[in-house]
Structures are given as C-alpha cells and as structure tokens.
Amino acid sequence: MKQSSRCQNLGRCLVLVILLSSSAILCAQNDNLAPKPPMGWNSWYQNYCQVSDALIRAQADAMVKNGMKALGYEYVNIDDCWEGQRDAQGVIHGDKNFPDMKGLADYIHSKGLKFGLYSSPGPLTCGRREGSYGHEELDAKTYAAWGVDFLKYDWCSASKVYKPEEMQAAYKKMGDALKSTGRPILYSLCQYGLERVWTWGPSVGANMWRTAGDLDYTYDRVSLVGFQQEGLQSFAGPGHWNDPDMLLVGLKKLTDDENRTQMSLWSLLAAPLIASADLTTVSPASLAIMTNPEIIAVDQDAAGIQGHRVSEEGPLDVWVKPLADGSKAVGLFNRGHGPNPVTVDFKKIGINNSAAVRDLWAEKDLGTFKDSFTVTVPKYGVVMVRIK
C-alpha cells in the first residue's frame, strides 16, 4: 500500500510537473512574441469597413516594395468588418469580400510578412459583425488553422454581457484559447485604457494593450493621448507594451511637423508602430517619416525601455529614453502656437558636462555641447536627438 501510494503520489507529481512545464512554455512563447514593440499596418483609420482581400494583398505588396518591411514593419492586419456568418458548427467565415482567409494568410506569409485579424469578446464587433462571445476556443482554433499571427480584441459590445470587473476574465478566456492552439499569435487588447489594463494585461496573455480611446485625426488628440502616457513606463518592456493607438502619418490629417511629433513621441514611448495610411498611395514625405531608420531604431531599441518626461514648461516638453548602448534619445517638443526655443539640461538626463548631439530627423551630427542643448522647435513640432 505504501509503495502504491508513493507511485500514485509520484504520478501526481509528474502530472503536475508536466502541467507546470507546459504552462511555462506557453508563457515563454507568449513573452517571446513581442520582444520589441510590434510594427505593421492596420486597415481601420484609412478604410473602416471598406476592406477586401484585394485591398489587403495590395497593402502587403506595398509594404515590401516601399521599404517598410526591410525596416521592421511586418504585420498586415485586417481590422473590423471581415467577418461573415457562422456555419452550423459555429465556425466563423469571412464575408463575400474575404472568400479564402487561409489563402490570404498564405499570400501574406509568402511575402515574408505576418497576418493579423480582429474580433471582440462581445457578441458583436464595433461594426456589428460576429464577435467571439461563446466561441472563443473555436475561433482561436479557426484563426490558428488559417495562419493568423496577430489578434486585436476590441471590447465593443462586451459591455452588454460582462460587468467591468469581469473584463480581465473575458480577455483571459481568449488569451488562454490562443495559447492552447500551439500557434504563436500576438494578442492585442483594445479596451481604451479601461480598468487600468496596464496592471493586468500580461496576466491574461496580452502582448500590448490600448492605454486610451481612439485618436480622432487631430493634433490636439494625438498630443493629449501621447503626452498622458507619462507614468506608465514601468508597465512596458519586452513582451508587453503600452499602446497609445495607431500612427496617423499619411492620412493627410496632420502636417509634416505634427506627423513627426507623433512618430517621435511614439518611438520614445516604445509604442507599437502600426501604420494606417494607404501604403499604395502614401506621399513620399509621409513615407519618409514612417521609414526614418534612426527614429525607428529608438522605438526598437534592444533595452525595451519606455521613455518619460524630464521637464515641462508650459507647452514645452522634454522626454528621454535610455538606449541599450548608454546613449539617450531625447525629444524636444513644442505644443505652442508658434516657434519656441526648447532646452534639455544634461544633468536631468544623467549626463555630466559635455556630450555629442546627433539630430535624428536630419540624420546628422550637430557637434559637442556643454551642460545643455537648446534648439528652436516649430509650432506643434519636435526636434529629436541622440545624446552621448
């Protein structure tokens, strides 16, 4: 009896070890999905519900042709309105504009890119298409079979079936379902910063989570959302990122200075860089902003540190992001209605005496400066430098 008990106990221990090991593998797999802030494209702000197989393929082609893929943009994500009906077995299918989801995924993969989709924990998506409520495991298996690499999961109608305190459980349900497929699928939460998501996002399997509501095509909204990220830096790092929403660059709503402000601030914030403009027609100026290699390098820096504000004087902001090589990326921002001089005090960013300064947008060295660096910044603009 004693020997039998030992064997039974040993068996239980082995099962427990296997379960724990499997759980650790799944967690590690999830953490490894986004060692750097994800980069890619999403259909929403340009196309809303006017999406199709042909449009998505064209964006993938453009991403390769225009050099974005070579610089790290890799996800091609369909947002809302791809969903058709469920069949008798409950399996979701694409609508008439997406007759072959696996074929589309295969095409994107053939370009060396990754494929993303969208759903909701509620019965309906924001576009009133089929959500995943009650079908989480089946949808996750379907996505995996199609070859999905990224899922954006939008709260939308979930508020009609879940209480606020049930949000974590609702998101964990899909997070667990995605992990159980065995396919690495990056998990992006879209819940507008509700319930202090940054404190629990990783625990439900998320790799990124929205920290605010949607952007609305204006500089004021970009500025409000971007600069209010201060204080969230301790919640971001390799595998899990704060997401202040997509890039508006190229949508012809902001000036070039305003676009550079968003691109600079998002890079300092180690935010996901998800473009939303039509990549087949984007202007050369906007494309240059999205593909500046030195700005992208700040966002994708190996240390994975989210930057923070070091000084604020009325409409003038200075933000710093420590980089892996010991240098500092610094954004000097002017939210004022006219040009203004902005100064970074070297002591405030941990540098004593003199330092070399490089202008990242101009891609040129500016020389060595002692104690501080001052530059005139245009209205709603930025000067982005690397200080070492």
Which sequence positions are flagged as catalytic?
154, 214
Are 108 and 62 spatial neighbours (Cβ–Cβ below 8 Å)? no
**Number of helical (H) and strand (E) elements in the chain, helices listed first:** 10, 18
Strands 316-322 and 308-313, by their bridges, are antiparallel
Please list, in sequence order, all residues whose beta carbon lies within 8 angstroms of the beta carbon of residue 377, skipping any fewer than 6 positions away: 316, 332, 333, 334, 339, 340, 341, 342, 383
Are 225 and 261 spatial neighbours (Cβ–Cβ below 8 Å)? no
Going 121 to 42 to 333 to 379, the CA torsion angle's sign is negative
The C-alpha angle with vertex 49 and arms to 43 and 54, in degrees rounded to 5, equals 60
Are 121 and 140 spatial neighbours (Cβ–Cβ below 8 Å)? no
Using DSSP, state whether 257 is helix, strand or coil: helix
Say how far apart CA 361 and CA 220 lie, in whole Å: 22
* Strands in 72-185 per DSSP E: 75-77, 83-86, 92-94, 114-119, 150-154
Q: Using alpha carbons only, how large is the chain's radius of gyration in Å?
A: 23
Going 268 to 274 to 276 to 279, the CA torsion angle's sign is positive
In which element (H, E) is residue 258 found? helix 256-268
Using DSSP, state whether 24 is helix, strand or coil: helix
Say how far apart CA 386 and CA 322 lie, in whole Å: 10
Query: CA 199: distance to chain centroid?
Result: 17
167-180 vs 2-31: helix crossing angle, rounded to 10: 100
